[in-house]
Amino acid sequence: MAHEKGFENIANNLRKFREAKGLSQEELAKRVGISRVGYRKIETQISLPRVSTLKALAEALSINIQDLVTQVNQLKHVRFRSQGNMNNRKVILDEISKKLEVYNDLEEILDDHIASKIKQSISNKEFIKLKNKPKEAAAKVRGLFSLDKKEPIHNICGLLESEGIKVISIRRTSNNFFGLSVSEKDGGPAVVVNIWERISVERWIFTAVHELAHLLFHLSAFDVREIKENEAEEKEANEFASHFLMPDEVFDREWRQSSGMLFVDQVLKIKRIFKVSYKTVLYRIQKKYRGINPWQLFHQGYKQKTNKSLTSIEEPDSLPNSAYWKSFPESAKAQEPDDLSPRDFYGERLGALVRDALKLGKITLSRGAEILGHDLMEMREIAKDWAASGEK
């Protein structure tokens, strides 16, 4: 039996990517033109694959050969829960591990680290006393971020990154996975957001703040082995995110100032001001203004305005409070009226680190392209743009 470390990496990575694709050993073997027994010997480290076989395996799994031979640090202190089973869980964790490693390496070679009050607060468990008080905690964090209590958040990624919270964006075709968070013990603190195009940008923004709440309140639950959602923790994180993005005072001011509009237009205006889902706005209205049914008013108004119903099956006219915690905020882009564009959610720090590393000759252009997910031609154009704009 072979014992080379690279051989072990191939075997482990093959199993991980095969399972993520939902393939049996026999199915993958058939795709690359080898016997099931021959494939099994590779995955169990009995025999070493030829280079041609390795290339065929990578092609069949839609990955690079490098993905098969590289060892990845295994994340342990992660809060990764989902609304359903995920075959590609290990693949997602490995992708995040690689991105965090690159992020931290760039900070190290550039000696560009961010120390922040929020990181210190997480480490010192300052927010334990605010547990189960998400509204007060949201106000506290806004203060630590030097946000005015009446100020909407215009760039959530930039805000978090300026406070030492890494923002990692990945794309995964999944209606069950919106994001996760990584503790400082595994290279964080970091929030990870699924920016799949079929998930609304409003959901991206909300997810980033939701995961920040887990970093603040639930570090004891950061165990990669735990996969089942905790309803109480989810509720607390949702409510924190709602008040962080829409503080009561500024929400009340904007709501009053738009009171002359039709109800549906008023909701859509507020939603765009705060860059949240319409469900977030409706929930806040329901909590603050008793005696009205904002869900019914909105759906009736939206139908009159557009001559079509909005997710009538998923959202009956009278939505119970409990539905807020299960389906809020709206996940599907097609179901978010007057939706935001990806320009409303963007990270800056990783790109800035790559730019500076290129400027100082610490990394090659091809390495920069690999980190940012571009091909070499795209990276050359980006580098030209940086030069033209004075970023030399």
Q: What is the pLDDT of residue 392?
A: 43
What SS3 state is found at 297? helix
Q: What is the pLDDT of residue 316?
A: 28
pTM for this entry? 0.81
Residue 335 DSSP symbol:
G
CB distance 143 to 163 below 8 Å: no
Q: For 172, left (φ over 0), alpha (ψ -120 to 50), or beta? A: beta
Q: What is the pLDDT of residue 242?
A: 92
d(CA 392, CA 382): 12
Q: What is the pLDDT of residue 324?
A: 44
Q: What is the pLDDT of residue 314?
A: 35
Q: What is the pLDDT of residue 2?
A: 43
Q: Which residues neighbour 131 within 8 Å (Cβ) at sequence distance 6 or greater?
A: 217, 236
Give buried/exposed letters for 232-264 (b at 16+ CB in 10 A, else e).
Answer: ebbebbbbbbbbbbbbeebbeebbeebeeeebb
Q: What is the pLDDT of residue 110?
A: 92
d(CA 29, CA 325): 44
- Domain ranges within the chain, ordered by starting residue: 5-69, 78-245, 248-344, 349-388
End-to-end alpha carbon distance in the chain: 52
Q: What is the pLDDT of residue 322?
A: 47
CB distance 56 to 68 below 8 Å: no
Q: Could you identify the residue written with the tokens 């076989």?
A: 53
CB distance 163 to 267 below 8 Å: no
Residue 332 DSSP symbol:
B
CATH number assigned to the domain covering 5-69: 1.10.260.40
Q: Residue 216's beta-bridge partner residues?
A: none
**pLDDT digit string (tens) for 135-171?**
899 998 998 888 887 778 888 988 999 889 999 998 8
Q: Residue 193's beta-bridge partner residues?
A: 169, 179
DSSP per-residue letters across 108-151: HHHT-----HHHHHHHTTGGGGGTT-HHHHHHHHHHHTT--TTP
What SS3 state is found at 291? coil
Give buried/exposed letters for 323-354 (b at 16+ CB in 10 A, else e).
Answer: ebbeebbbbebebbbebbeeebbbbebbeebb
Per-10-residue mean pLDDT, the chain, length 392: 60 77 83 85 82 85 78 84 71 87 89 79 70 87 86 87 90 85 91 88 91 91 88 91 92 89 89 88 85 86 83 37 53 74 75 90 89 86 79 45
Q: What is the pLDDT of residue 206?
A: 92
Q: What are the structure tokens assigned to 279, written together?
A: 């469900």
CB distance 62 to 84 below 8 Å: no
Q: What are the structure tokens assigned to 126, written together?
A: 């300052």
